[in-house]
Structure 1
Amino acid sequence: MTSATLQAIRYQRGSLEILDQLLLPHQTKYIPINSLELGHDAIKTMKVRGAPAIAIVAALTLAVVLVQSSTSSSLSTAEQAKQFIEESLGYLKTSRPTAVNLFDAAHKLAAGVRAKAKADGATGQDVVQKYLELAERMLEEDVKDNMNIGRFGAEFILKVWKGSEDLRVITHCNTGSLATAGYGTALGIIRSLASQKHLTHAYCTETRPYNQGSRLTAYELVFEQIPSTLITDSMASALLAQHPDKIAAIVVGADRVAANGDTANKIGTYQLAITARYHNVPFIVAAPSTSVDLNIASGKEIHIEVRPEVEVTTLRGPVVDLDSIKKDSSDVEFKKTGEGDVVAETIAVAARGIGVWNPSFDVTPAELISAIVTEKGVVLKDDGVQQFGMKAFLSGESI
């Protein structure tokens, strides 16, 4: 396995570029983010996605804007700077309503800015500088947290694994370097197992309708040379039945975790938890503690984003050269323009006039989850208890 990982976020003070994930895996293109509107659009249209990455990009978007506006008279006083930052964070929060990391990051950034603005003699520049320090620290800490999640998750799987040396893992959606500041959460666990030479094979679901698995997770697995196979969402149960002694765990990420452990994640996660329970396979949620929302008691309170119908009824991708299609092979050639660019088209895949329901997430009940892995350690349930004590765990109390 290569030691290199993808860099989805490129940041230096005053400059931010993100890897446009809508073009992956067929085209690698970084786009500059130098305004609040561009940052909001990148998150809303899923040019960047994954709860940790969304929070980081939102924070760094405002950081870039503040550097560009540092000489503006509208930021000259501490109160002016504080108000601009709070209003900007409020706007960026509207880009994706389900990912709690974005709201958590905005809350922490705003709190830090308010405290600085109250300091005696604080200027607008002091407040801006404080924000930049906080946002840049979030970027650094996210990578460290992800590596800890990978380590704790790998240790847990090896501890509970009772199979042969042929250890395989299934994952859903994308939770790697493309979904975070680097390394990844659920994919970080897979990466950690692979680096320790314990992982034999990884399976990733395609994750319809947005295909984050086939476009992004598969891209990362191939990039890092981790032995892997792509399956459709509907094949997971059959795979578990075919390999009853080889699948060590199903590992997924989370966009929001309630106080009782109920978890909102990409649509299709809930059904994986059900089949994991039936086949007696550990179902593991990997997420930073910032994904835990202690303000909601259960998953019933999680707002589920419903996305446009067209995402289900159409597909977009490069045009395939039909002559390049070979039986029993995934390799194909793409048609290109005279300038060498890949030709992409959107095609319809559903009957016209059919109604569509397109929730972006579903909620997996805590009772179906075996463990929740955070950067602080692994959260387990007490014997006979169907829920997790997330508040007690995060506060360091015994549970």
Structure 2
Amino acid sequence: MVETMHWQQGVLELLDQTHLPQECIFIACRDYERVKLAIQRLEVRGAPAIGAAAAFAMVLGARQLADKPDFLGALNAVRADLISARPTAVNLSWAADKQYQLAVKLHEQDYAPYKIIGELEKAAVKIYNEDIARNKKMGEYGAAVLPQDAVVLTHCNAGALATCGWGTALGVLRTAHSQGKLRMVYADETRPLLQGARLTAYELAEDDLPVTLITDNMAAWTMKTKGVNAVIVGADRIAANGDAANKIGTYGVALAAKAHGIPFYIAAPVSTFDFTLTSGEQIPIEERAAEEVKSFRSEQTAPAGVDVFNPAFDVTPSELIAGIITEYGVIRAPYIENIQELQKQSKEDF
């Protein structure tokens, strides 16, 4: 299984996912600015992986600021700068805020900056390790909802490459495969950046899981003709009513699944929930550069002057979601009440 990042001797090495599947190249990040750039460029992507990268970036930022008279104020500026890198994935702000709050707490206990940095490093490593453990719990809960001989459609990449390891949606599929329950995975290519084609198909094939690649506009017909009996995707932010933001195209997949009577599942850790938002209408949707649609890897594919609408995410309303698979179990409707219970339960661990 491909690893997304390594923390070695104070350097964060990130797998540059923009080069996959042709090359496995790691970027050495020695300051927080390089991590921010990697997040913006999608060199590291996927909500849980972005969160872990941000936790390590806060360590790097703290080291850069260790001698500043206003250490906490400067670290808060780093936190805000990191969060600005991508607005939709809530794991980014969750991790940066968590690290900053730890620094504030330790500062109030008269910890010196260098001692705070050491504790931030321990906390970042813990976030990394806990992500893998939580993904494996999700895998067990998610595999239990799949039928025997499962034929699953997925969109974008919610696998080991989007996390610290194992994966959310693809973690469910890995667990189901190990249990002998998985017959086939249909992976949408995921325009415009082809995360499904470049990443999902790549990592499933690398791990010998059965996978068939389709274009995005084949999803509905594949559901109708290929015996798809479940859809599982990841999420970048989930509101308190169960509305879920995920890679653009997910909403259309959910509508097609509803039309065909196929259960549509989200797999995401508690850190992806934004309990402060009452509905998906409040989720900020990142819009990216027009060139991502008009070209691919420097090859022009559309008229140079054409107008482009390029939202990176869409929001699937909770009424289309059969269940949200978390490390605490599978949440089903009524979502508002059950997500409130999840929030209470998870507070004990977070």
SS of structure 1 residue aligned to 2:42: coil
- Counterpart contact for 2:58–2:99, Cα < 8 Å: no
The 8 Å contact of residues 285 and 314 in structure 2, kept in 1 or not, is answered as yes
Give the corresponding residue for 2:245: 264
Pick one of 96, 99, 105 that aligns with 1:106.
96
Contact kept? 1:34, 1:65, Cα under 8 Å:
no
Deviation at 1:355, TM superposition (A): 1.2
State the alpha-carbon separation in 2 of the partners of residues 218 and 233 from structure 1: 14
Please give the secondary structure, in 2, of the residue aligned with 1:250: strand
Identity %: 39
Shift of 1:253: 0.4
**Matched residues, number:** 346
Question: Distance between the aligned counterparts of 1:137 and 1:371, measured in 2?
Answer: 28
Max radius of gyration: which structure?
Answer: 1
Structure 2 CA distance for partners of 1:389 and 1:288, relative to 1, 3 Å: same
Q: Establish whether residue 134 from structure 1 lines up as the match of residue 123 from structure 2.
A: yes
Alignment match of 1:308 (pick from 277, 282, 289)? 289
Matched, 1:277 2:226: no
* Structure with the higher helix share, 1 or 2: 2
The one-letter code of the counterpart of 2:319 is E
Specify which of 264, 270, 274 is matched with residue 289 of structure 1: 270
Instruction: Tell me the equivalent position of 2:28.
Output: 32
Q: Tell me if the contact between 2:241 and 2:336 (Cα under 8 Å) persists in the aligned partners.
A: yes
Q: Deviations over 1:280-301 (max 9, x none)?
A: 1110000010110010000010
**Contact residue 379 and residue 388 of structure 1 kept, 8 A:** no
For 1:374, the aligned partner's letter is T
TM-score, L = length of structure 1: 0.83
Q: Paired residue for 1:93, among 67, 83, 99?
A: 83
Give, in angstroms, the shift of residue 130 of structure 1: 2.1
Measured against aligned partners, the alpha-carbon deviations of 1:120-154 in whole angstroms (never above 9, x if no partner) come to x4222222222122112111111111111111111
Q: Work out whether 1:395 is the aligned partner of 2:344.
A: yes
C-alpha separation in 1, matches of 2:61 and 2:10: 8
Q: What displacement does 1:13 show?
A: 4.2
Q: Once superposed, what is the RMSD of the aligned Cα atoms?
A: 1.7
Supply the AA of the counterpart residue of 2:125.
E
Structure 2 distance, partners of 1:238, 1:354, is 30
TM-score (norm 2): 0.95
Q: For residues 136 and 238 of structure 1, do their structure 2 counterparts lie closer, same or farther at Cα, with a shift above 3 Å needed?
A: same
Asked if residue 74 in structure 1 is aligned to residue 68 in structure 2, the reply is: yes
Question: 2:67, 2:294 → 1: CA distance?
Answer: 49
Structure 2 runs not aligned, ≥5 long? none
Please give the secondary structure, in 1, of the residue aligned with 2:53: helix
Contact residue 274 and residue 368 of structure 1 kept, 8 A: yes
Displacement of 1:84: 3.0
Structure 1's unaligned 5+ residue stretches are: 317-345
For 1:53, the aligned partner's letter is A
Of 237, 240, 255 in structure 1, the residue corresponding to residue 220 of structure 2 is 237
Aligned to 1:149: 138
Shift of 1:388: 6.2
Aligned partners of 1:256 and 1:122: how far apart in 2?
A: 34
Distance apart, 1:87 and its partner CA = 1.9
State the distance in 2 between where 1:73 and 1:213 align. Answer: 44
Partner of 1:19: 15
Tell me the equivalent position of 2:5. 9
Alignment partners' CA distance in 2, 1:23 and 1:388: 43
Over residues 206-233 of structure 1, what are the superposed CA-to-partner deviations in whole Å (9 max), with x where a residue is unaligned? 0000100000111101110111100000
Q: Is the 8 A contact 2:61 2:78 kept in 1?
A: no
Deviations 1:309-337 (A, max 9, x none): 11001012xxxxxxxxxxxxxxxxxxxxx
Please report how far the alpha carbon of residue 392 of structure 1 lies from its aligned counterpart in structure 2 after TM superposition: 2.2
